[in-house]
Amino acid sequence: MTSTVPALGTRTAEGSALQAVLLDMDGTLVDTEGFWWDVEVEVFKALGHTLDESWRHVVVGGPMTRSAGFLIEATGADITLAELSVLLNDGFEALIGQSLPLMPGATRLLAELAAHEIPTALVSASHRRIIDRVLGSIGPHFFTLTVAGDEVERTKPFPDPYLLAASRLGAQPGRCAVIEDTATGVAAAEAAGCHVVAVPSVAPIEPAWRRTVVTSLEEVDLPFLHGLMTEMN
């Protein structure tokens, strides 16, 4: 997709400058939300428990401390949070192998952001060991920086990861566009004061003020993101 886009720091309307784009990883750029659920199912099966499919909507998109903690409480499994986190991360790494399927439009969008020198950050609730593994499939060269869930005191749904990413990029949160696939991630981005593009993966997300919902990243390009700044500021 080719577009003519104002350079970073210019405006399409008063107050409309797009300073940075911050993107979630699982379910947004890579098609991994189902992978995490498969790992959770297998780990708990080995522990003698069957996960209810309805719980998938509860654990999707959140930090491992929340999702794993919920599953321990829901099943009554005899395992600590720390022990379960290791099993889940090990299982995920074993499952993904050397490459992962990217979501439709992900590579094109990242390439467009890079071509126009838009500061871009990967902001994930996944641990650093997982992010570094998945980056091999996405392309680490697309990102100015990355923020992992185990590198902040409070991860999503708190705003801390997005506030940290914006700060490190020298951007104002209100001039950042965030792309997320879950309600947890959307809540974090909105609490940080960012404009949000929601691309729902597992559970539906409703449009709201400063929140635009699309069905695929194929609908998102730089004119679209600049337009958000123009319409909502």
Secondary structure (3-state) at 122:
strand
Q: Does residue 4 have a pLDDT over 60?
A: no
Q: What is the 3-state secondary structure (H, E, C) of 141-206?
A: HHCCEEECHHHCCCCCCCCHHHHHHHHHHCCCHHHEEEEECCHHHHHHHHHCCCEEEECCCCCCCC
In this model, does residue 56 exceed pLDDT 90?
Answer: no
The proportion of the chain whose per-residue pLDDT surpasses 90, expressed as a percent, equals 67
How confident is the model over 115-129, as pLDDT tens digits?
A: 999 999 999 999 898
pLDDT (mean) for 211-226: 97
Instruction: Calculate the alpha carbon distances from 157 to 17, 27, 149 in Å.
Output: 26, 16, 11
- pLDDT(11) > 60: no
pTM (2 decimals)?
0.78
C-beta neighbour count of 52 within 10 angstroms:
10
Matching residue, tokens 């991860």: 155
